C-alpha cells in the first residue's frame, strides 16, 4: 500500500482522509485490509501521526491499530511532551525502544499488546513439553518463553528497570526534556547563523538541516543549486570521520537532497558541545559547493 506521495504527507505525517480513501480503494479491489501501522516519531523527520483520527478509522473498519513508537514512545515520560502521542491508548499494539531516546543499554525493545487472551502464546507457542511445563505451582501465563519466536534471549527489560530505579520517573522525564531542549537550542542557533537551513521546524528531537557553504548562499536560482547542495553533507561527513571529531547521520528523503539529521540524546552533552557541533560543521564545509577543488594533500603519485 506504500506509495510515496510527498504532497499528501505534510511534515511526513499520515493524512487520515487519505487512509480512509486507501481502505475504500483496497476494498473496492477485493482486498481485505486488516492492519494499520501508525508511527509516533518517524526515523528521519520525527513526525507523529494523528493517532486519534486514525484510531477512529480503525474502529469504523475493524482494523488492528499498531503504533510504531520505537523512536517517539519515550516522549510519553514527559508531561510536557506526551501530547504528541495522544490517542496511543487506543492502539491494539505498540512498539517502543527505550534504548533510543532514554539511552537504556542496547538493546531494549518493548512490544506492548492490549490483548490479554494469550494471543502471543497462540501465535508462537510450540507447547514443547520438554521446555515449558504447564503444571507449575504458579500462574504460567507470566512465563514468556513460549510467547516469542525466539527461545533463548536476554532479560532486556532489566536494564530499563535498573535505569528507572536509579534516576526515577522524574529523572526519565528530565532526560526526555533535555533532549527536546538541545534540539530547540540548535534550531534557534542555526537560524542565527548564515549557513544553516532547516528542512522543517522540528516537532520532536530530530533536527533536519542543510549546511549551505558560502559559495552557494543566495544562489537558489542556480539550476544546479540542489544537486550541488546534495553533495555537501557526504563530504562534511567524510571529513568529520577522517578527523575523528563527530558522527552525524545524513540522508536524502522524498524530494529533498541529502541533509543532516542531528539527534542529541546523551544526557551529559553540554551547551559547549552543541556550539562545537555548529562550529565544526561550518569549519568542515566552508570551502564546499563550488567547482571541484584539489584535495588538501596532493594524492601520492602512482608512478614508482
Ligand X SMILES: *Cc1c(COP(=O)(O)O)cnc(C)c1O
> Which residues of the shown chain bind ligand X in the complex (CB under 6 A)?
39, 41-43, 68, 70-71, 97, 109
Separation of alpha carbons 86 and 303, rounded Å: 66
User: Using an 8 Å Cβ cutoff, are 259 and 251 in contact?
Assistant: yes
Scan for cell 539527534, then name that residue: 263
Min CB(19)–ligand X separation in Å: 18
Min CB(150)–ligand X separation in Å: 13
Separation of alpha carbons 40 and 30, rounded Å: 30
For ligand X, the closer CB: 68 or 92: 68
- Residue 231: partners with Cβ closer than 8 Å, 6 or more residues away: 258, 288, 289
Phi/psi for 109 (5° steps) reads: -120, 125
For ligand X, the closer CB: 44 or 281: 44
For ligand X, the closer CB: 97 or 262: 97
Task: Give me 282's grid cell.
Answer: 561550518
* Conformation bin of residue 299: beta by default, left when phi > 0, alpha when psi is -120 to 50: beta
Min CB(137)–ligand X separation in Å: 35
Separation of alpha carbons 181 and 174, rounded Å: 10
Min CB(242)–ligand X separation in Å: 27
Task: Give me 247's grid cell.
Answer: 558522527
For ligand X, the closer CB: 42 or 262: 42
DSSP 90: G
Min CB(225)–ligand X separation in Å: 31
For ligand X, the closer CB: 206 or 258: 206
Q: Which residue is nearest to ligand X (CB)?
A: 71
64-68, strands of its sheet edge to edge: 35-39, 64-68, 93-96, 110-113
DSSP 29: T
Task: Give me 121's grid cell.
Answer: 502464546
Min CB(301)–ligand X separation in Å: 46
Phi/psi for 150 (5° steps) reads: -85, 150
For ligand X, the closer CB: 39 or 78: 39
For ligand X, the closer CB: 42 or 78: 42
Min CB(212)–ligand X separation in Å: 27
Amino acid at each position: 500500500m506504500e506509495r510515496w506521495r510527498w504532497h499528501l504527507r505534510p511534515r511526513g505525517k499520515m493524512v487520515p482522509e487519505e487512509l480512509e480513501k486507501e481502505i475504500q480503494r483496497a476494498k473496492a479491489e477485493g482486498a481485505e485490509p486488516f492492519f494499520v501501522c501508525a508511527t509516533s516519531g518517524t526515523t528521519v523527520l520525527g513526525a507523529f501521526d494523528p493517532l486519534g483520527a486514525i484510531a477512529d478509522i480503525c474502529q469504523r473498519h475493524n482494523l488492528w491499530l499498531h503504533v510504531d513508537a520505537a523512536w517517539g514512545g519515550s516522549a510519553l515520560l514527559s508531561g510536557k511532551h506526551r501530547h504528541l502521542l495522544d490517542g496511543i491508548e487506543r492502539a491494539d499494539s505498540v512498539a517502543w525502544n527505550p534504548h533510543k531516546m532514554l539511552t537504556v543499554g542496547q538493546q531494549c525493545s518493548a512490544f506492548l499488546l492490549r490483548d490479554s487472551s494469550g494471543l502471543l502464546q497462540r501465535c508462537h507457542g510450540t507447547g514443547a513439553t520438554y521446555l515449558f511445563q504447564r503444571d507449575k505451582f504458579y500462574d504460567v501465563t507470566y512465563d514468556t518463553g513460549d510467547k516469542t519466536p525466539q527461545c533463548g534471549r536476554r532479560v532486556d527489560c532489566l536494564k530499563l528497570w535498573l535505569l528507572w530505579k536509579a534516576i526515577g520517573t522524574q529523572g526519565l522525564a528530565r532526560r526526555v526534556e533535555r533532549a527536546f531542549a538541545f534540539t530547540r537550542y540548535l534550531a534557534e542557533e542555526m537560524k542565527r547563523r548564515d549557513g544553516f537551513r532547516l528542512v522543517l521546524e522540528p516537532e520532536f528531537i530530530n533536527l533536519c538541516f542543510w549546511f549551505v557553504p558560502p559559495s552557494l548562499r543566495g544562489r537558489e536560482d542556480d539550476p544546479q543549486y540542489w544537486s550541488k547542495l546534495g553533495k555537501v553533507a557526504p563530504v562534511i561527513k567524510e571529513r568529520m570521520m577522517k578527523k575523528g571529531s563527530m558522527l552525524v547521520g545524513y540522508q536524502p528523503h522524498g524530494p529533498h537532497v541529502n541533509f543532516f539529521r542531528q539527534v542529541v540524546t546523551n544526557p551529559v552533552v553540554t551547551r559547549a558541545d552543541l556550539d562545537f557541533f555548529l562550529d565544526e560543521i561550518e569549519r568542515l564545509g566552508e570551502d564546499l559547493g563550488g567547482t571541484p577543488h584539489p584535495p588538501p594533500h596532493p594524492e601520492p603519485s602512482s608512478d614508482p
